[in-house]
Amino acid sequence: MIQQKTIYLPQFHRGFHLITPLILRELSDLPSTGILHLLLQHTSAALTLNENADPDVRRDLENFTNKLIPENHPVYTHTMEGSDDMPAHIKSSLYGASITLPITNHQLNLGTWQGIYLCEFRRNAGNRQIVATIFS
């Protein structure tokens, strides 16, 4: 059986945000076993899985990613939407727009310290949406 739902996220500032509780609240009735696929429908943000306990990890990822892919680099030609737009597209491509997770005993089968991140790469992004598909 396949179920699908669109999850509408609130607006987030630029940074890495733990959204596991938001996802679980929207998908409260998970099957006993299956697969959850999450697709973020945007090109200037991403989804990833990482540390869910220490917020320093999220800050360090943000700082390192901004250093690795800076704004206003002279090689960018796509600049009409602001200095953070082209770096956001690059970051989105590197991190990725989707993740796939196992479902076991009606719960996401995440590692002890794993959480789902929304990686918001724009300073003034709007609301984001995720298509959640459950295969059971």
* CATH number of the domain within which 116 lies: 2.60.120.460
Closest CA to 101 of 132, 66, 74: 132
As a whole number, the mean pLDDT across the chain is: 97
| Cα(131)–Cα(111) distance, integer angstroms | 23
User: Do 36 and 100 form a contact (C-beta atoms < 8 A)?
Assistant: yes
Residues 70-86 have pLDDT tens digits of 999 999 999 989 999 99
Q: What's the structural domain count of the chain?
A: 1
* Per-residue pLDDT at 43: 97
Residues 21-46 have pLDDT tens digits of 999 999 989 999 999 999 999 999 99
Residue type for position 81 = E
Q: Between the CA of residue 133 and those of 9, 12, 73, 102, 129, what are the distances in Å?
A: 16, 23, 37, 12, 13
80: domain range?
A: 2-135
Over range 104-115, report the average pLDDT. Answer: 97
